[in-house]
Structure 1
Amino acid sequence: MMYKKISEDEYDLTTLPILESIFDQDIHGTVENPFMNQSWEVILLGWNISCIAIEEKRLTKKSKIETVRIYKKIFQYLLSRNINEVLICSTPCHRPREGEGYRNFAATIPTASIVESMKELNKREPDFKSASAYAICDSTKKWGYISTYDGFSWLAGDADFIEGFHVFYGGREAVRQYFYDFDASDTWVLAYDNTGPVPEVGANSTREYAYYCAGWEPYVYTEQDLAEDPMESPEPTQPPASGQSES
């Protein structure tokens, strides 16, 4: 077996305190960003990790190439920092309140086989399979990854972790250009929030909220982007007027 399931008692005793120190439990447009440490730099990622491990059909050809590429780089970077095992859990990750219809799930998995471990978890663990968003981190509490229900993800960490990743990937601008390329390849994905209320903080749509949390200027679609989009595309958007500046 390529994973170690965390028991309910162990979850409450050791796992939950780690998760609560890294992730804000309210990640649906009501917080400045989904990480407790507001000094951490946030990097925007495309489709959440499950899409390369479980739901590959959701990716267009171009966005699949872009998504697989950056996740492979993240896994390689973690290994280069001697992070050989990670904690993965379904989100939200807190003690369920009375009447809530989900169960927390967490496991430790080898960094070298994250995708393969997720596939195995999906086959064997109903509580994992039913999740639509994930958090990944480790006990150092210096970094974290979290996905959302809305088709994008964030990676964040302290200055040493994030600066190291920028260098590892090829530079800060290369990291940002990855997401712009992803956004252009799937222009409709993050355009409007069709899954619930308009985000309450810093933006008028899910897409703008994703950019807001990272402090990035939203990509403005070109005429070529719109012409290549086989689905109805949004009008170009403006960055949220909230005093946020690029990092």
Structure 2
Amino acid sequence: MNKSDIWQDVDLYFSSMLHENDEVMDKILTANAEANLPAIDVSPNQGKFLYLLAKLKGAKHILEIGTLGGYSSVWLGRALPHDGKLITLELEHKHAEVAEKNITLAGLENKIEIKVGPALDILPTLKDQEKNPFDMIFIDADKQNNPHYLQWALQLSKPGTVILVDNVVRNGKVIEDNSDDDSIQGTRQFIHLLSEESRIETTALQTVGVKGYDGFVMGVVKD
């Protein structure tokens, strides 16, 4: 058995043992596949991790950059208290339409708001419109813009805000400084900015599983 098969089998073992059967989440993944959305949702174990992290943080105000079909949005939305709110940004109208149906299916339409358009156009309006900084920010969109998303995340944060950025390992290719892949270069620029950023404490974790070999950066904004 090769490593990839082992990673998938172990991932499926944990999800089958540690998660209850979740008809809603299964239907969301099916809806995303039937709509021909890219199969780049977080895995069930990663989604549960986001949920638990938001719970541990006690997050009431969450920002997500990159909605896709709303799978991760629903995981995060489920962690919110009754008066909590999640704003999620999506470039593609088609993706947002699928996500809206999925969010309604999950019964979270009163907690989750989708804003459609380029995130870098929407983020400045959030700084003006949102009265409270976000408790948690999850970045999972076009990787070449991660440096810009980081800068906005810091502006929309407060001391203690948790910032999580997905897909930073790129199957190990993040170390290739001469890569011609815009996603890898965007990730490297993002990491470089973090290395010089004094406002946030961060680390990176590598992950394996049904999504292959990747990882995320997690940070907490300083006082």
Tell me the TM-score normalised to structure 1 length: 0.31
Higher helix fraction (1 or 2): 2
Higher strand fraction (1 or 2): 2
- With a CA cutoff of 8 Å and minimum separation of 6, indicate the structure with the bigger relative contact order: 1
